[in-house]
Amino acid sequence: MLGLMQDWPLLCHKILDHAAIQHPNREIVSRSVEGPIVRTNYRDVRQRALKVAKRLEQEGFQVGDRIATLAWNTARHLEAWYGIMGMGGVYHTLNPRLFPQQIAWIMNHAEDKALFVDLTFLPLVEKIAAEVKSLTKVIVLTDGANMPQTSLPDVVAYENWIGEADADYRWKALDEKAASGMCYTSGTTGDPKGVVYSHRSNVIHAMLACMPDAMGISARDTILPVVPMFHANAWGLAQSSPMVGAKLVMPGGRMDGEAIYELLTTEKVTFTAAVPTVWLLLLQHMEKNDLKLPHLKKVVIGGSACPRSMTEKFEKNYDVEVIHAWGMTEMSPLGSLATIKPEYAATTGDALFDIKQTQGYAPFGVEMKVTDDENNELPWDGKKFGRLKVRGPAVAAAYYGGAGKEQFDADNWFDTGDVAHINENGYMQITDRAKDVIKSGGEWISTIDLENIAVGHPDVAEAAVIGIAHPKWDERPLLVVVRKEGKNPSKEELLAFMEGKIAKWWMPDDVAFVDEIPHTATGKIQKTTLRDQFKGYELPTASSAA
Ligand code: ADP
């Protein structure tokens, strides 16, 4: 017997319709690429998204066509996303921090037909456009007055282009399983792999993200997504914010501490989200200038492990709640959040920070398990770590073009490539990427744990731990440190700081000081490059062991 309920397909443009009906005047504020702060609202964004859809259709683009965007977070980028999806196209976000050749490779792989691009990235596109054979149209996200000279054929200023259409358009009636968006993983090892979101997965993901014990956002929030729309689907905020009718503050191209601080205070932002490196810059800026955060209530930190010292600083010095989250492009991207279950209601002080330091538990819509190498499920005891596997309605079932088949099993479990343990209350803690874990004498050492402790030292700006070949133990940890400006901690001082906080055999065998630690295009420590940099490095413990 079937239920007798309506078939109301979960389509992304319904989110924007809802925002325009229920929250028409709710503002979307952008730091424009041209410079000034500009203001619009959900009603106008929807009108303009309809024009985008109409213009795309007039130009002959069809359902299923991949339409790329190479742009910062602004209202125009948001309009482009919804316009593309509303005519049945697939928005494809490109990460400008990748090498031009990688971007060209990704565009060719996805066969992008058109491209919305910010002024900032026009020179980059001029370099690669000829290589992307499928590309027939470039729309520059600016107005006629700011449109520069360009060597590109078939290029148009966005405002002129949508100015030629009225908003008299009906969104395409689509199957909710139709593709809505596309995002490639950064491919730190091997070629990037394409993740293809559906309308259904995006809508379900937005709903799960809004839940009180997930991101917990509401119409009363003012949300600053610092996390770019080109990184892992902007953590779903481009869908969950209009879904609840929150005010949006889009930071454009400026993500330095001063610029972010200015938006947080002038726009009275209550909720924000980004990777730890962004918050490092903000905290440094605030400490240097003795600033406070009077309006901000909550910050979601993820993308790489949030150092405990960062959580403590936000909570103790600025009275801002930190929610540590974990996710992946392949998961739309939210996988878990460290909000507090009633089991920890009475937990306070350091013990509470222990919980907040985990990557949290999976919300409805995400199933999770850890297994050993033989695929046996490990107990949830907070100790035994193994491969983290997930499944759910907003988790990828395959990569575009069939790459990476080995990561998916017959029961839909997706192998994340992360190593983690889960405690008795469901709180998961990542100990490493499988390829970064250090194997010392057959046992595993968590590089994330070591890094976390090292950055807790007041003179350390950033820390990374890598395995170095060792004649007796196979591999031993090397701590690589960037010192804070004007500070000069010694190796002995740092090791003494770590002592007692971890098992003795986890202690780094050596400390190397560097000016800079390499990062990936999404702000993670690039361990592959770091390992190359320290190839052949001789640990002081190696000679005595040999
Ligand atoms: P990319 O690989 O393109 O940078 P993702 O954001 O999809 O993009 O990367 C996902 C990976 O980032 C995860 O598999 C995990 O290794 C790491 N990660 C994400 N959030 C956290 C976190 N809170 N703590 C530790 N690692 C994290």
Catalytic residue among 57, 79, 267, 330: 330
Cβ pair 545, 470 in contact under 8 A: yes
User: What's the one-letter identity of residue 114?
Assistant: A
Positive or negative CA dihedral for 254, 258, 260, 263? negative
Relative orientation angle of helices 42-58 and 75-86, to the nearest 10 degrees: 50
Instruction: Choose which residue among 390, 430, 448, 525 to substitute to test ligand 1 binding: the one with the highest number of ligand atoms within 8 A of its C-beta.
Output: 430
Q: What's residue 187's pLDDT? A: 63
- Work out the burial of residue 222: count CB atoms within 10 Å of its CB; fewer than 13 is exposed, 13-18 middle, 19 or more buried: buried
Catalytic residue among 40, 69, 93, 185: 185
What is the C-alpha to C-alpha distance for residues 429 and 531, in angstroms, rounded to an integer? 24
Nearest to 242 by CA among 70, 38, 82, 73: 82
Pocket of ligand 1 (CB under 6 A): 185-186, 232, 302-305, 324-329, 333, 359, 416-418, 430, 433, 520, 522, 524
What is the C-alpha to C-alpha distance for residues 238 and 257, in angstroms, rounded to an integer? 22
Query: Ligand 1 center to residue 415 CA distance, Å?
Result: 13
Is 185 annotated as catalytic?
A: yes
Q: How far is CA 336 from CA 303, 343, 396, 523, in A?
A: 12, 17, 16, 20
- Work out the burial of residue 278: count CB atoms within 10 Å of its CB; fewer than 13 is exposed, 13-18 middle, 19 or more buried: buried
User: What's the one-letter identity of residue 388?
Assistant: L
Q: What's residue 522's pLDDT? A: 81
Cβ pair 443, 405 in contact under 8 A: no
What is the C-alpha to C-alpha distance for residues 371 and 320, in angstroms, rounded to an integer? 35
Cβ pair 362, 396 in contact under 8 A: no
Q: What's residue 521's pLDDT? A: 84
Nearest to 96 by CA among 459, 531, 521: 521
Write down all domains in the chain, each with its CATH number in brackets.
8-22+35-198 (3.40.50.12780), 437-545 (3.30.300.30)
What is the C-alpha to C-alpha distance for residues 425 and 189, in angstroms, rounded to an integer? 34
Q: For ligand 1, what atom is nearest to the CA of residue 328?
A: 7
Which residues, other chains included, contact 432 with Cβ-Cβ below 8 Å and sequence gap of 6+?
Answer: 418, 419, 444, 446, 447, 448
Cβ pair 385, 431 in contact under 8 A: yes
What predicted TM-score, i.e. pTM, was given to this entire model? 0.92
Q: What's residue 313's pLDDT? A: 96
Give the three-class secondary structure for 467. Answer: strand
pLDDT (tens, 9 = 90+) of the chain, 546 residues, equals 999 999 999 999 999 999 999 999 999 999 999 999 999 999 999 999 999 999 999 999 999 999 999 999 999 999 999 999 999 999 999 999 998 999 999 999 999 999 999 999 999 999 999 999 999 999 999 999 999 999 998 899 999 999 999 989 999 999 999 999 999 997 666 789 999 999 999 999 999 999 999 999 999 999 999 999 999 889 999 999 999 999 999 999 999 999 999 999 999 999 999 999 999 999 999 999 999 999 999 999 999 999 999 999 999 999 999 999 999 999 999 999 999 999 999 999 999 999 999 999 999 999 999 999 899 999 999 999 999 999 999 999 999 999 999 999 999 999 999 999 999 999 999 999 888 989 888 888 989 999 999 999 999 999 999 999 999 999 999 999 999 999 999 999 999 999 999 889 999 999 999 999 999 888 889 998 999 999 999 999 987 765
Beta bridge partner(s), residue 139: 116, 156
Nearest to 427 by CA among 345, 341, 495: 341
Strands (E), 209-340: 222-225, 247-250, 271-274, 298-301, 321-327, 334-337
Q: For ligand 1, what atom is nearest to the CA of residue 329?
A: 7
Q: For ligand 1, what atom is nearest to the CA of residue 186?
A: 3
Cβ pair 462, 517 in contact under 8 A: yes
Q: What's residue 443's pLDDT? A: 83
What letter does residue 314 receive in the DSSP assignment? I
Q: For ligand 1, what atom is nearest to the CA of residue 330?
A: 7
Instruction: Choose which residue among 102, 328, 528 to substitute to test ligand 1 binding: the one with the highest number of ligand atoms within 8 A of its C-beta.
Output: 328
Supply 379's token pair.
Answer: 């107990």
Give the helix/strand (H/E) hosting 91.
strand 90-93
What letter does residue 469 receive in the DSSP assignment? E
